[in-house]
Amino acid sequence: MRISTIGVLLAVASFLSEAQAQTPLISAPSGTKTLAATLKVYAFPGAGQNSAQQSQDETECYNWGVKETGNDPFHIANQAAEQQQQAAQQQQQAQQSTSGSAIKGAVGGAAGGAIIGAIAGNAGKGAAIGAGVGAIGNSVRAQSQANQTSQQAAQQAQAAAHMSAAKMNDFKKAFSACLEAKKYTVKY
């Protein structure tokens, strides 16, 4: 009976070690995204490619996509950020010029009002009225110009964002076509 128990235990141990050798080890995710996932392109290895092979394939397809389209996704993202920053600076400059114009208008209006007031007999009152009118007039003109500048900056930013999205879409098409040729199932 002892021999049969030992035989059963050996058979079970042999079976378990053979099953363990055939079962792939599952490791915890490393926390880093693949190149495709970073680009929001999802690639599933259709021919049993391992992660090292997938990484190599994605790098090759990335380089091929850049060469074919002339669009580098990381460069596109940097350009979009720079254009947004420029638009914000233009809006800020337009707002600053509005307040400067009101002051210039007040000074010019005061001078004109003083001359007219001197002719009428009260230079101080004429200067005060002229300053108010000049400040309001220049402020309105400056605000109108600031609004136009702000609208132009917003339109340019919107056009740049649209262009960036189109370039990124072209790149993703090329990148995906390359991965599909390497037997990956791809969605973006």
Domain limits of the chain? 89-168
Q: What is the pLDDT of residues 3-24, one digit of tens each?
A: 555 544 444 445 444 544 443 4
pLDDT surpasses 80 at 132: no
Burial state string for 104-120 with b = 16 or more CB within 10 A and e = fewer than 16: ebbebbbebbbebbeee
Residues 135 and 184: their CA atoms lie apart, in Å, by 67
**How big is the chain, counted in residues?**
188
Cross-strand bridge partners of residue 43 = 186
Q: What is the pLDDT of residues 164-187, one digit of tens each?
A: 999 999 999 999 999 999 999 999
Q: Between helices 123-181 and 73-120, what is the axis angle to 10°?
A: 170
- Do 134 and 108 form a contact (C-beta atoms < 8 A)? yes
180 exposure class (CB count in 10 Å sphere: 0-12, 13-18, 19+): middle
Q: What is the pLDDT of residues 81-90, one digit of tens each?
A: 887 788 778 7
Best-predicted range by mean pLDDT (3-7, 30-34, 46-50, 162-166): 46-50
| pTM for the predicted model, two decimal places | 0.57
pLDDT band at 115 (very low <50, low <70, confident <90, very high): low
If DSSP codes are grouped into helix, strand and coil, which group holds residue 175? helix
